[in-house]
Amino acid sequence: MKYICDICKWEYDEKKGYPEGGIAPGTKWEDVPDDFKCPLCFVGKEKFSEK
């Protein structure tokens, strides 16, 4: 599953994770920490939509 930032369109892909931010490949979106911020525009998880 993929999730996209509604503001800047940065994409989180569960298969790839976000290793540079400490999120391992295969991490489901619901398991990403609640304080996660978009690495490009710094908005929270609530500003992401399922792609």
Residues 2-51: pLDDT tens digits? 999 999 999 999 999 999 999 999 999 999 999 999 999 999 999 999 99
- The predicted pLDDT at position 32 comes to 98
Cα–Cα distance measured from residue 17 to residue 15, given in angstroms and rounded to the nearest whole number: 6
Specify the number of domains making up the chain: 1
Q: What is the pLDDT of residue 17?
A: 98
Query: Which residue range(s) make up the domain with 22?
Result: 2-50
Q: How far apart are CA 51 and CA 35, in angstroms?
A: 21
| Confidence at residue 31, expressed as pLDDT on a 0 to 100 scale | 98
- Write the CATH number for 31: 2.20.28.10
Beta strands in the chain (DSSP E): 2-5, 11-13, 48-50
Q: Which pLDDT score is estimated for 4?
A: 98
Confidence band of 1 (pLDDT split at 50, 70, 90)? very high
The answer to whether the beta carbons of residues 41 and 34 sit under 8 Å apart is no
Q: What is the rounded CA–CA span in Å between residue 34 and residue 24? A: 15
